[in-house]
Structure 1
Amino acid sequence: MKPLHPGIVFDALARRRSPTVVHLSRPLDLAPDAGTRLTVPQVAALVRVTAARLAAAGARPGDHVAVVKRNHWDYALIACAAARIGAVPALLSDHLDPHVLDTLLDRLQPAVLVTETRLLRAGSAAGVELTRHAGLTVTLDRGAPGDGRRANVTALQDLPDVRSAPIRRRADGLPLVVLQTSGTTGAPKLVVHSTTTLIRRLTGFEALPWPVLTAGREDVFASATSFAHGRALSWTVSTFWHQPREVVIVADPDPEVAGRLLAEHPPTIVEALPSTYVRWHRLAAQERNPFRDVRLYISTFDAVHPPTVRAFLQASRRRFPLWMQGWGQTETGPLTFRFFTRRALAKRAQRHPTTRNLGWALPGWVGLQVVDRHTFRPVPRGEVGLVLSRTKARCLGYLGEQDRWREKVRGPWFNTGDLAVRSRSGAVRLLDREVDMIPGISCVELEDVIQDRLPEVEEAVVLGGVDRTAQPVLIADGPVEPARWKEAVRDLPALAEPLVLERDAVPRTATGKVRRHELRERYLAGAIGHGTGRWT
């Protein structure tokens, strides 16, 4: 068996006496009594115990084990435990509406559902009994006294763990894990990956000793992401394989919580959601900021804007800190990457798509094509079109939605649903998601410029407006002065008067992405959508 397989990777690392120490922002829900400091042998033992308990719960090779809980790294560890016994973990975010969660569980029909009592209560309050889809529902907590448990609900701690479950490795081409997409435009898709696609291609690529990108034995790697998404599993396997000195897991992006942990264990590498970096701006501005020793920042999942990149590069005391922006999708893994330096982001006043330039396809791993969205014929370099990708890391399909999958696949090519322009050198400049497009402009470029010119704005979102005029939505703690707004948009295409909202008034996904369609429906009745949405 290859040691990169998630079911045995921590056993292999323990045998190699890996020195990595894990520091947690709070104890794992999977092991609340284990504290906030874990060694690799302790993690390996936790995976073995959890695998035995899942087997005792009735999970068999090929069965789905659905996981939905508070955000934390134990999503990845439960996935490792399920894969160890040949079951197929399905990771779902607790940010999902109970009715959406009900739909996804209906597609999965899991043998075991691992969850929390509060989520079962929330489902019942919404008229949804989530337990009806699973053979057995296992809660990570015991619930409050008098909860009145059903016959098919038990607590994880009540399952036997005295005997190790046998390791059952499935064939490389069979499903290994089911991952949800972000779901910015409705119910998330259930993406099925195999050992070949997720481990051999994606994780194996990261596990190679790449200059700059690879975590060395003296690195402290901090991760603050949505652990319900596929990135967490591949990151876990590849990062621990490199055996950094410390791994810092930030389950709650709250600046107060994160700031204390990062100050105690100053990272040299940071990977976080774009929305988390935005929330950490004030941490980066502190005199003794926790990012002063960072050599590499990593950002995935969503667009990141120039002020954010600039702030964190300036926070580092390193001579040449780097920011790596990756672009990809759950279905394909990374497609392009680009590095930013302080110098690359020095200009502020000009309109320029700095962070919209996503760089180049991973050489030898990914092929890209930009095509007309009506005819699907390739367009010349410099013209706008849909981006198609070709990679051996492409997932197996969408569980329960094969028609939706077939709509996005054209032979070896996968339709990303993104509009972009490709330069003569092959670099990709992202314009918008096709479903979010507004003819003649790039919403994400305008968002870049607005945020660069208005530091008081935490985030800007540009939507299709009611009368075909683009509608800016500004997320800020207070009003934006009309004179400052007028000056900021002086050379931009015509925009409606901005709608200013506080952070909590904006609907988001588990990865912090703004649910643009829900935002438009909530605040802009009668607004016009220009994209078809066929490939979302």
Structure 2
Amino acid sequence: MKFPENTYEPLNLFSNFSVAAKKSPEVAIYFDKELIGFPELGTETTYHQANQSIINQANRLYKLGIKKGDKVILYKSPMFDTYLLAVAISYLGAIPVMISYHLPVETMTVMCARLENPWLIYDRITIEKAPLISSIVPDQLIELEELVKIPTTELVSQDFLETHSISYMTHTSGTTGIPKLIAHSANSMGWRTKWQKSVFDLMPEKKLVAFHISPVHSRFNIGISSLMSKGFPILWIGSSQQDDLEQTLSRFHPYALETHPNDFVQWSNLVKEHPHLFTSFTYFHSTFDAINKGTMEIFLNASTAKRPVFMQVYGQSECGPMIMRFHTRDSIKNLDARNMGNGMLGLTEVKIVNEKNEEVAPNISGNIHMLSKGRALTYYKEDQRFTENTFGPWWDSGDFGYKDENGDLFLLDRQVDLIRDIESTLKIEDLLLDKLDFLDEVVIVRGKDNVPQPIISVSEHKEMNWEEWFQAINDFPLLSKPLIWDYDAIPRTATMKVQRLKIEEELKK
């Protein structure tokens, strides 16, 4: 597919927001709940009004002593004001550090120590944990509810960092231990927005786009910055609970939706029960991870659009969005959901290598190496760990898969999750979710004697059907009897990725 060409430009969060506000001042931004950090915006604002509030917030932070080059951690509830605060921090030439509110005090203490005397903004969600982080100076803890009470009088002008220097930090998912801090620059983020804007250009109308992504995910700033550059109205969905979601979608009728694969899986039950809530959608976009075929098909079939599209994107925080594939009602009928698709010419591509780092022939499995112009700079204070994954311009994704003769990428597993006699745990999980509509989740990990152990979650208001389960696994390799866990009991990262190694540790107890 030929994508529209977009001019490359570095991404300064505030400058991007400000330019968009000048170009499209009256375009709307909606929130499903009021924001703690920006109460004056209510649940509906415009690009221009939000821009003014950001400048006011930046001046409050300046009054407290935050200046150019300072690192400011956002450790708070997962709402849209997290992003608006990051934009305000960038106005001062300071560096937003996006950290999930899920992380415990012990982990936070280690991560904050790496940042060498950072500031930290918290709110009512993290109020009990934030003061216990020993590597933060108490005077540099900022309670968000108190911040908004500071009057804004004298205004400080915008300050800038060099485009090649660290200007934004996110963190890895932490599926294998203490998360690593990923350092991004305006230059590296600029290449990612070029990729993203080219995708948005394929959407012919500037209609409402619904967004439910973790605000600390590296995807978030790229998605919102690009949407605003193109002048799309935005609906921020903060609550993923089905009752709240039903109310939100009953009020709004979005044109497009992006969320995490696991949210799509959970929401598929709502689609089955109330399909009318999803008739307005023409575009669906799954973020940075594989998703099973059945879930995509449910959303596509709910749409009343003539040709709805489900865009599946594979990527990583270190490299940004990489590989994509577009699905329609017709194409999905014969889909192998492990097929991620292709990169964007000139911006992203992948290759498959063996243990000697030699590129292999089509249809031969190996490690997936990524090439992205938007690759991050490093892991902050852990440069060696970053360098261990680099091979010249190529990045070892940590994933395992193959490319076919057409150049399509097939994702099989994480390298660390490979299990004896199983080609792809992800493929089995997909097939089971597709076949068994009483399940919300299937996770296969290493169990006793390295035998694959399924962990399953039964959908609310449904019962486990053992007969259908055993029929569904007839053709699979040996699996242990599944353990039934509550969906919320399955350990996850901020972006809803399952922490498989934590499950394996739990099983050993």
TM range (shorter): over 0.9
Task: Note if 1:525 corresponds to 2:508.
Answer: yes
- Compared with structure 1, are the counterparts of its residues 462 and 42 closer, same or farther at alpha carbon in structure 2 (3 Å cutoff)? same
Task: Note if 1:177 corresponds to 2:164.
Answer: no
1:31 and 1:369 mapped to 2: Cα distance? 45
Task: State the secondary structure of the residue aligned to 2:337.
Answer: helix
- Deviation of the 1:340 alpha carbon: 1.2
1:345-366 deviation digits (Å, cap 9, x = unpaired) = 336xxxxx72210001221112
2:58 aligned residue: 51
- Compared with structure 1, are the counterparts of its residues 3 and 266 closer, same or farther at alpha carbon in structure 2 (3 Å cutoff)? farther
Task: State the secondary structure of the residue aligned to 2:340.
Answer: strand
2:329 aligned residue: 342
1:287 and 1:411 mapped to 2: Cα distance? 50
Task: State the secondary structure of the residue aligned to 2:388.
Answer: helix
Q: Sequence identity, in percent?
A: 28
The 8 Å contact of residues 75 and 101 in structure 2, kept in 1 or not, is answered as yes
Amino acid at match of 2:337: T
2:395 aligned residue: 414
1:322 aligned residue: 309
Task: Note if 1:137 corresponds to 2:145.
Answer: no
1:102 and 1:216 mapped to 2: Cα distance? 46
2:261 and 2:200 mapped to 1: Cα distance? 24
1:116-150 deviation digits (Å, cap 9, x = unpaired) = 255241356xxx33573475111112xxxxxxxxx
Which TM-score applies when normalising by structure 2? 0.93
2:237 and 2:24 mapped to 1: Cα distance? 25
**Aligned mate of 2:485, from 479, 498, 501:** 501
1:355 and 1:311 mapped to 2: Cα distance? 14
1:175 and 1:275 mapped to 2: Cα distance? 31
2:4 aligned residue: none
**Aligned mate of 2:205, from 208, 216, 223:** 216
2:427 and 2:79 mapped to 1: Cα distance? 33
- Compared with structure 1, are the counterparts of its residues 413 and 288 closer, same or farther at alpha carbon in structure 2 (3 Å cutoff)? closer
Task: State the secondary structure of the residue aligned to 1:232.
Answer: helix
2:275 and 2:431 mapped to 1: Cα distance? 29
1:364 and 1:135 mapped to 2: Cα distance? 47
1:135 and 1:333 mapped to 2: Cα distance? 35
Amino acid at match of 2:196: E
1:109 and 1:120 mapped to 2: Cα distance? 22
Amino acid at match of 1:378: E
The 8 Å contact of residues 212 and 237 in structure 2, kept in 1 or not, is answered as yes
Amino acid at match of 1:385: G
Task: State the secondary structure of the residue aligned to 1:188.
Answer: coil
Task: Note if 1:69 corresponds to 2:76.
Answer: yes
- Compared with structure 1, are the counterparts of its residues 511 and 3 closer, same or farther at alpha carbon in structure 2 (3 Å cutoff)? closer
- Deviation of the 1:12 alpha carbon: 2.2
Task: Note if 1:189 corresponds to 2:180.
Answer: yes
Q: Which of 353-362 and 291-300 deviates more?
A: 353-362
1:157 aligned residue: 148
- Deviation of the 1:430 alpha carbon: 0.3
State how 1:287-436 maps to structure 2 within 5 Å.
Answer: 287=274, 289-346=276-333, 354-372=336-354, 374-436=355-417
1:354-386 deviation digits (Å, cap 9, x = unpaired) = 2210001221112322111x3222222111111
1:130 and 1:119 mapped to 2: Cα distance? 15
1:134 and 1:429 mapped to 2: Cα distance? 49
2:62 and 2:278 mapped to 1: Cα distance? 42
- Deviation of the 1:460 alpha carbon: 0.7
- Deviation of the 1:211 alpha carbon: 4.4
2:427 aligned residue: 445
1:492 and 1:288 mapped to 2: Cα distance? 33
1:232 aligned residue: 220
- Deviation of the 1:95 alpha carbon: 1.0
The 8 Å contact of residues 23 and 249 in structure 1, kept in 2 or not, is answered as yes
Amino acid at match of 2:56: V
Amino acid at match of 1:432: D
1:392 and 1:345 mapped to 2: Cα distance? 30
2:289 and 2:45 mapped to 1: Cα distance? 31
- Deviation of the 1:428 alpha carbon: 0.5
1:209 and 1:325 mapped to 2: Cα distance? 12
Runs (4+) of structure 1 moved beyond 6 Å? none
1:148 aligned residue: none
2:499 and 2:198 mapped to 1: Cα distance? 35
- Compared with structure 1, are the counterparts of its residues 110 and 206 closer, same or farther at alpha carbon in structure 2 (3 Å cutoff)? farther
1:378-423 deviation digits (Å, cap 9, x = unpaired) = 2221111111112221111001211211211122111100001111
- Deviation of the 1:216 alpha carbon: 3.2
- Deviation of the 1:497 alpha carbon: 1.0
Task: State the secondary structure of the residue aligned to 1:77.
Answer: helix
- Deviation of the 1:32 alpha carbon: 2.5
2:10 and 2:358 mapped to 1: Cα distance? 43
1:303 and 1:413 mapped to 2: Cα distance? 21
Task: State the secondary structure of the residue aligned to 1:267.
Answer: coil
State how 1:450-489 maps to structure 2 within 5 Å.
Answer: 450-477=432-459, 480-489=464-473
Which TM-score applies when normalising by structure 1? 0.89
Amino acid at match of 1:241: S
Task: State the secondary structure of the residue aligned to 1:337.
Answer: strand
The 8 Å contact of residues 353 and 367 in structure 2, kept in 1 or not, is answered as yes
The 8 Å contact of residues 65 and 111 in structure 1, kept in 2 or not, is answered as yes
2:3 aligned residue: none
- Deviation of the 1:25 alpha carbon: 1.0
- Compared with structure 1, are the counterparts of its residues 190 and 287 closer, same or farther at alpha carbon in structure 2 (3 Å cutoff)? closer
Amino acid at match of 2:43: T
1:413 and 1:3 mapped to 2: Cα distance? 22
Amino acid at match of 1:462: I
Amino acid at match of 2:466: P
The 8 Å contact of residues 438 and 463 in structure 2, kept in 1 or not, is answered as no
1:86 aligned residue: 93
Amino acid at match of 1:184: T
The 8 Å contact of residues 338 and 411 in structure 2, kept in 1 or not, is answered as yes
The 8 Å contact of residues 112 and 134 in structure 1, kept in 2 or not, is answered as no
1:76 and 1:66 mapped to 2: Cα distance? 12
Task: Note if 1:32 corresponds to 2:13.
Answer: no
1:220 and 1:277 mapped to 2: Cα distance? 19
1:274 and 1:39 mapped to 2: Cα distance? 29
In the alignment of these two chains, the number of paired residues is: 499
1:380 and 1:10 mapped to 2: Cα distance? 45
